[in-house]
């Protein structure tokens, strides 16, 4: 672990807050109406946001989850990511999602999901360390600046359901001892039992997590400290640190109006982690919160399809099929990595279909073929547009087409069988030479006048067809 607990940083923490402050970055509120509907994401972005001319529009490319559970401790993670943002941007990434960045109860060993001081990004000597697991405040600001220089938005992971690391105090509402006395060294958002459940005004919300003190968002003071005041958590993250958007952790734990109010107050792209495989439930939550959600329905249907060897499951209901502008699709993340077989097929699925796809750091940097993923990102950004029609499914095969929007569209062929497959399909193109843009097939057939053509796909693989 890096030794950062130097006397200078202990004596002069306030000075460091003033060093390297990022210029405020505002995420675009409304993507161009000339873009395809699946990249407009209009309902997921605040009406107060304006276009940041130097950043790629969110949804025009692919999001990178720039961490995994238990990344190496030692305070080097921000520097590691800072060295990759330009390459990611060149590959077609438009945003990076960072882990919870502020000091948590477990200090230098925490992944950030046990938040203690929302305003300590690795500057104050508390919870056993100065730096967070990921690095110092200066290193985080350098990373954000480098990401912005690479035209990438930076998404903050926001944990506002619960807190951790407080001191014990008696709660007069239930006459019990609770760990709800928070006096962080930043001097901001001091908390006591009134800010948690239960209190004199509100007994509980929709859920608690892991026994942690549960923040009460119905308390006006909590709303002010989290997102409404000029020096609130949300506005400090945005205006001082330079974050552009939000990933809300465990949104099942509080009502959707909380996310809606936060987004309406400060703007920026927002996506919630509503962990539920029911597409209807996800659709309901996104409508209430007026932001995007991770498409767990799509995730579980892909698990059934590729690990369960039944591609018919891709016919089932998913959030992207109900409202693609609010669906953030994924194959793996820091909590879930259950699609073991056919993982590249799963990426071929989300990177050719509607929704805003996310790539998991370890899949991209360590576990899968980066060249193939870059090819699929290029296909997503340049060829995959318009509505989707499923053309054929069985246990081993899946074929669909995107109908195009300011592009010709594509035909996607997934094959979970152990042998090459061929099939006649009806395209949108008459008398047109097409090719497989993945390079998996060297065929270049010409569609008939009636738009029919035979395409092929290798075993346990995929092909993506469009006019040459």
Output the DSSP codes for 205-271.
-S---TT--BB-TTSHHHHIIIIISTTSHHHIIIIII---EEEES-GGGS-HHHHHHHHHHH-SEEE
Q: What is the pLDDT of residue 52?
A: 52
Quote the CA–CA distance of 24 and 314 in Å, as a whole number: 42
> Do 394 and 312 touch, CB atoms closer than 8 A?
yes
Q: What is the pLDDT of residue 408?
A: 87
40 in the Ramachandran plot: left (φ > 0), alpha (ψ -120 to 50) or beta?
A: alpha
Mean pLDDT of the chain: 90
- Start-to-end CA distance of the chain, whole Å, equals 52
Report the relative pairing of strands 356-360 and 327-329 from DSSP bridges.
parallel
Q: What is the pLDDT of residue 10?
A: 32
Quote the CA–CA distance of 177 and 193 in Å, as a whole number: 10
Quote the CA–CA distance of 94 and 153 in Å, as a whole number: 6
Could you tell me the CA-to-CA distances from 271 to 88, 222, 340, 358, 463 in Å, in that order? 21, 21, 25, 12, 30
Which CATH superfamily hosts domain 389-467?
A: Golgi alpha-mannosidase II (2.60.40.1180)
Q: 5 versus 186: which is more confidently predicted?
A: 186
Q: What percent of the chain has pLDDT over 90?
A: 85
Q: Where are the beta strands (DSSP E) in 319-368?
A: 327-329, 356-360
Angle in degrees, CA 195, 199, 201, rounded to 5: 100
Write the DSSP assignment of 380-410 as a string of letters.
HHHT--S-EEEEEE-SSEEEEEE--SSS--E
User: pLDDT tens digits for 286-339?
Assistant: 999 999 999 999 999 999 999 999 999 999 999 999 999 999 999 999 999 999
Q: What is the mean pLDDT of residues 243-255?
A: 97
> Do 119 and 186 touch, CB atoms closer than 8 A?
yes
Checking if the pLDDT of 42 tops 60, the result is no
> Do 242 and 141 touch, CB atoms closer than 8 A?
yes
Q: What is the pLDDT of residue 93?
A: 98
Q: What is the mean pLDDT of residues 227-231?
A: 97
- Residue ranges of domains in the chain: 7-273, 389-467
User: pLDDT tens digits for 388-435?
Assistant: 999 999 999 999 999 998 778 999 999 999 999 999 999 999 999 999
Q: Report the candidate in 282, 295, 270 with the shortest Cα–Cα distance to residue 353.
A: 295
Q: Report the candidate in 412, 394, 410 with the shortest Cα–Cα distance to residue 402.
A: 410
- Secondary structure of residue 191 in the 3-state scheme: strand
Beta bridge partners of 270: 246
- Secondary structure of residue 94 in the 3-state scheme: strand
Could you tell me the CA-to-CA distances from 390 to 303, 415, 440 in Å, in that order? 19, 14, 21
Record the pTM.
0.88
- Secondary structure of residue 85 in the 3-state scheme: helix
Q: Can you read off the two tokens belonging to residue 79?
A: 């520097």
Quote the CA–CA distance of 126 and 193 in Å, as a whole number: 21
Beta bridge partners of 63: 95, 358
Report the relative pairing of strands 410-415 and 397-402 from DSSP bridges.
antiparallel
Q: Is the peptide bond before 198 cis (omega within 30 degrees of 0)?
A: yes
> Do 323 and 289 touch, CB atoms closer than 8 A?
no
Report the relative pairing of strands 461-467 and 410-415 from DSSP bridges.
antiparallel
Quote the CA–CA distance of 181 and 58 in Å, as a whole number: 39
Q: What is the pLDDT of residue 53?
A: 60
Quote the CA–CA distance of 359 and 123 in Å, as a whole number: 31
Checking if the pLDDT of 36 tops 80, the result is no
Q: What is the pLDDT of residue 375?
A: 98
DSSP 8-state code for residue 177: E
Supply φ then ψ for residue 320, to 5 degrees. Answer: -65, -25
Q: What is the pLDDT of residue 290?
A: 98
Q: What is the pLDDT of residue 405?
A: 82
> Do 450 and 430 touch, CB atoms closer than 8 A?
yes
Q: What is the pLDDT of residue 40?
A: 38
Quote the CA–CA distance of 402 and 409 in Å, as a whole number: 5
User: pLDDT tens digits for 112-155?
Assistant: 999 999 999 999 999 999 999 999 999 999 999 999 999 999 99
Check whether domain 7-273 has CATH 3.20.20.80, yes or no: yes
Instruction: Write down the residue that tokens 């990759």 correspond to.
Output: 84
Q: What is the mean pLDDT of residues 101-110?
A: 98
Angle in degrees, CA 318, 425, 453, rounded to 5: 145
Question: Which residues are within 8 A (CB) of 227 and not within 5 positions of it... i.e. 6 or more apart?
Answer: 233, 234, 235, 261, 262, 265, 266
Q: Can you read off the two tokens belonging to residue 421?
A: 């497959």
Could you tell me the CA-to-CA distances from 181 to 123, 168, 222, 350 in Å, in that order? 21, 6, 14, 44
Q: 302 versus 202: which is more confidently predicted?
A: 302
């Amino acid at each position: 672990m890096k030794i950062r607990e130097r006397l200078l940083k202990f004596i002069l923490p306030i000075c460091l807050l003033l060093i390297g402050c990022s210029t405020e970055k505002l995420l675009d509120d409304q993507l161009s109406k000339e873009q395809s509907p699946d990249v407009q994401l209009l309902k997921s972005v605040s009406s107060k946001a304006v276009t940041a001319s130097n950043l790629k529009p969110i949804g025009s490319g692919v999001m990178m989850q720039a961490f995994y559970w238990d990344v190496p401790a030692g305070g080097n993670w921000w520097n590691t990511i800072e060295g990759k943002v330009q390459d990611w941007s060149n590959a077609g990434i438009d945003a990076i999602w960072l882990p919870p960045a502020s000091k948590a109860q477990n200090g230098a060993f925490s992944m950030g999901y046990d938040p203690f001081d929302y305003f300590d990004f690795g500057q104050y000597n508390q919870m056993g360390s100065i730096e967070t697991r990921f690095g110092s405040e200066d290193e985080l600001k350098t990373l954000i600046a480098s990401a912005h220089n690479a035209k990438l938005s930076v998404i903050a992971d926001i944990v506002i359901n619960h807190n951790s690391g407080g001191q014990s105090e008696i709660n007069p509402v239930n006459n019990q001892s609770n760990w709800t006395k928070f006096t962080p060294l930043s001097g901001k958002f001091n908390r006591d039992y009134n800010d948690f459940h239960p209190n004199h005004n509100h007994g509980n919300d929709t859920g608690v997590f892991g026994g942690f003190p549960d923040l009460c968002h119905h308390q006006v003071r909590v709303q002010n400290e989290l997102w409404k005041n000029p020096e609130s958590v949300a506005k400090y993250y945005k205006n001082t640190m330079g974050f552009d958007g939000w990933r809300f952790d465990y949104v099942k734990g509080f009502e959707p109006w909380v996310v809606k109010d936060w987004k309406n107050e400060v703007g920026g792209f927002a996506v919630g982690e509503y962990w539920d495989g029911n597409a209807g439930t996800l659709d309901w939550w996104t409508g209430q919160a007026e932001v995007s959600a991770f498409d767990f329905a799509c995730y579980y249907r892909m698990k059934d399809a590729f690990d369960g060897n039944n591609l018919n499951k891709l016919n089932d209901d998913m959030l992207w099929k109900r409202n693609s502008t609010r669906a953030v699709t994924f194959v793996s993340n820091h909590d879930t990595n259950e699609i073991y077989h056919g993982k590249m097929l799963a990426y071929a699925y989300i990177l050719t279909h509607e929704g805003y796809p996310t790539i998991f750091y370890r899949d991209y940097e360590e576990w899968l073929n980066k060249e193939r993923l870059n090819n699929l990102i290029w296909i997503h950004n340049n060829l995959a547009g318009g509505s989707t029609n499923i053309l054929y499914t069985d246990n081993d095969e899946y074929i669909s087409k995107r109908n195009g929007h300011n592009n010709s569209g594509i035909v996607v062929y997934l094959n979970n069988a152990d042998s090459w497959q061929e099939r006649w399909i009806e395209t949108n193109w008459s008398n047109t030479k097409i090719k497989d843009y993945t390079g998996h097939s060297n065929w270049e057939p010409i569609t008939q006048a009636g738009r029919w053509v035979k395409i092929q796909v290798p075993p346990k693989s995929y092909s993506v067809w469009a006019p040459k």
